[in-house]
Chain A
Amino acid sequence: MIDNGRRLLAVGSILVLGLLVACGTGSSSGGGTGSNANCNTSQPTQGVTSSQITLGETLPLTTAGPSPQQTVDGSQAYYDMINAAGGVKGRKIKLIARDDQYNPSMALQQMRNLVQQDKIFAVAGGQGTPNFLAQAPFLNTQAVPAIAPYAPSSELGNMKYPHVYMTSVNYITEFQIMTRRVLDNFSPKGFGLVGVQGNVGDDSKQGMKQAIGSSGKPLLYIPEQPGTPDLTPIATQLKSSGADWVFLILTPSDTGGLLKAMQRIGYQPRLAAWAGMSDQTYIDQFGDLSQGMIVAQELALPDASDPDVQKYVQQFTKQTGRAPSGFNNSLGWSQAELTVKALQDAPALTRSCVEYALNQVKDFKTGILPPITFGASERQGVNAVGLVQIEGKTVKQIASFKSV
């Protein structure tokens, strides 16, 4: 009887302990690499005081036009709204945005500064793929959660980087969906792709190849070095390949420059481009060269009738006194929205508990992104892409969000 009682007590204790761990209230370590599905409420942390939570991000603030600053503005607007309402768990949120100049080595240095000097609690947002990819291994070793960086890459969104929670679809998926759309609707003769050299361009090419499959349509891929001073050779290569559809994944300035070079040599293919080209600042300047361009849509259009979208537009307008400018304001807002949800849902303000909260996110609606879902081994929160087309000085939706 006594033995049975001890046995029952032991089994019961193990079950209770297991339940506690499963519920995330156990005491497993939150540091190091690997999956972080548990919440350690007593984990040593930084960047959290009784009155403030410090978050950080890096973006190419001085080398990629106004877009990254607009992203910061979008995030800041959301944090200002939350802070005005009392903050998170009684603490105001402070966002530090550092300039990485779209330079991987600079980006890594700036992330080190954020973590080791500024003592940030977590990475919230950020923008740019090669720059973030340079930071990801460092964030892994430091076990710093990175929430919704805009760095579409097949390298991310999986358990290789378990502390990185992606809400941007990678370029393989994005270009696969765009290419399928063109194949299904336009009978293209051949494709051209000009992409930033490296992971960005390679992923885009892979997505296009997957969509083209056995259709036999030719694809000419031209990797481009940002800031190329003469774009005539690229335009001529595309023209000589006979491509009647050209896909672009370049900086806005190189996109504009390449379209001008195409104009100079009388080459007028149909165009498709990555999501950033739907931003109003690009359309205002280069819309006349980009008429009919199909653009991947990762974020809802501000004029959509969806009540969640309208709620976002109203809140943003109330907070800033103006309507959101498009892609980048919306991106920043959505990054901040997910970050705040994770902070609010975390059982305690430790990194492991914030990651625990992120792992519980299911169909979270921001009004901007398709519903976000993470899991214990799921780091790609969004998998759907829509399509818009540049018409006049605005964009028009031509296909709703769709998963691969």
Chain B
Amino acid sequence: MPAVLAVGSLGNTLQVILGGLATGGLYAVLLLGVIVVFQVSKNVNFAYGELGVIGAFVGYVLYSTLHWPTPLALALGVAAAVVLAAVTDLTLIRRIPDRQGFDLVVTLGALLLLTAGTDVVFGSADRQYLNLFSDKARIVGGVYINAGDLLSLGLGLVALVGGHLIVNETGLGVSLRASAEDPAIARSMGIDVLSLRTAVWAASGLLAAVASMVIASRLVLDARYMTPVIINVFIAGMLGGLDRYWPPMLAAFGVGLYNSLAGYIFGSDASTPALFILVLAVLIIAPKRFLEERHEARA
């Protein structure tokens, strides 16, 4: 572990905390898609981030190259990711034999295929994405309150609360939980489980595209910019448990914040090792019951 670099003023520390929570908010948006797909169809989709990349690219080409109105271009980018996610379920996931781990191999293959395809279709150049309000800021107590950070944080909070309300307070949520608990009983109640699963995959595409567009506005757009992001999202899911709701969603915010503070205090090259130290610490310290009884807790 490198030596502590510097911890600046309170204002600078708050700046890093804001940035970390904004990043964590986007992790939460992405993780919501991972959680609902896992809970309803019991699959982990490694190609999830790349669906968002394609949505962001489609939006970019439409507004930047073809000069379509930006809102329309972004909406069509999101639509492309939604369709692609649904098609992934219809053409790949439904055909997977009921063998544990097979979905991992298939979605990993889809990830490689989509990444290579993105390179071929859109090229391998780094592109600057829309600012999405990140050029607007107000200074409060020495901290730049950037509209882009607020957008990211807001999206995370909407995903956190909205996801909970939809699953627990709506008829759709009842159908989702029934399909997740026991598909056979859900079918006997008249729920079209397969269509519901495809709809959940489509919704995950929407979440991936929205988050990927905002992340592209904070970093750059290329075929692989989501890879380190999605690794952190899966780490948050692993820490909290994909069978649960609140623990992983809060872990998403926590991972974003922890990673930023670790990078700020110990240096950028220490942030990834610090994250894996956190994972090890959770595995060692967390009560065994927390790790074993995940299947009992559902959204």
Show the binding face of A for B, using Cβ within 8 Å: 62-63, 65-66, 69, 194, 197, 220, 222-225, 227-234, 236-237, 239-241, 252-253, 256-257, 260-261, 263-266, 281-282, 285-286, 288-289
* Of B124, B125, B256, B267, the contact of A223 (CB 8 Å cutoff): B267
**How many whole Å from A201's CB to the nearest CB in chain B?**
9
| B174 contacts partner chain A, Cβ-Cβ < 8 Å | no
A236 in complex: contacting residue of B8, B148, B232, B269, CB < 8 Å = B8
- Report B-chain residues with C-beta under 8 Å of the C-beta of A237: 5-6, 8, 264
A220/B6 contact (C-beta < 8 A), A62-B119, A232-B15, A264-B144 known: yes
Is B292 interfacial (CB-CB < 8 Å)?
A: no
Number of chain B interface residues as a range: 35 or more
Q: How far is the CB of B152 from chain A (nearest CB, A)?
A: 10
CB of A228 within 8 A of CB of B263, answer yes
User: Which residue of chain A is the closest to B215 with respect to CB atoms?
Assistant: A229
In the complex, what residue of chain B is closest to A251 when comparing beta carbons?
B126
Chain A residues near B125 (CB, 8 Å)?
A: 65-66, 281, 285
B154 within 8 A of A: no
B residues adjacent to A (C-beta < 8 A): 2, 5-6, 8-9, 12, 15-16, 19-20, 23, 119, 123-128, 134-135, 137, 139, 144, 146, 148-149, 215, 217-220, 222, 224-225, 227-229, 232, 256, 259-261, 263-264, 267-269, 271-272
Instruction: Assess whether B15 is in contact with A65, with CB atoms less than 8 Å apart.
Output: no
Number of A-B contacts (CB under 8 A): 137
Q: In the bound complex, how far is the Cα of B16 from the Cα of A231, in angstroms?
A: 10
Residue pair B19, A236 in contact (C-beta under 8 Å): yes
Q: Do A234 and B126 have beta carbons less than 8 Å apart? A: no
Instruction: Chain A residues near B12: list those with CB within 8 A.
Output: 236, 239-240
- Interface SS, A side: helix
Given that A62-B119, A264-B144, A266-B139 are contacting pairs, would A228 and B126 also be in contact in the complex, using a CB cutoff of 8 Å?
no
Q: Pick from A227, A236, A282: contact of B228, CB below 8 A.
A: A227
B224, A63: Cβ atoms under 8 Å?
A: yes
Are B227 and A228 touching (Cβ within 8 A)?
no
Question: What are 5 of the A-B contact pairs (CB < 8 Å)?
Answer: A194-B268, A222-B267, A223-B268, A227-B227, A241-B6
Other than the given A65-B124, A286-B128, 17 more pairs (CB < 8 A) read A62-B124, A69-B124, A194-B268, A223-B267, A229-B215, A229-B219, A229-B228, A237-B5, A237-B8, A239-B12, A253-B219, A253-B225, A257-B218, A263-B134, A264-B218, A285-B128, A286-B126
- Known A236-B12, A286-B128: A264·B148 in contact at CB below 8 Å: yes
The 9 closest A-B pairs by CB, nearest first: A232-B19, A240-B8, A233-B264, A233-B263, A257-B219, A253-B126, A240-B12, A197-B269, A256-B220
Instruction: Determine the residue in chain A with the shortest Cβ distance to B231.
Output: A229
Q: Return B117 CB to nearest CB of chain A, in Å.
A: 12
A227 to B20, CA, bound (A): 16
Q: From B20, which residue of chain A is reached at the shortest CB distance? A: A230
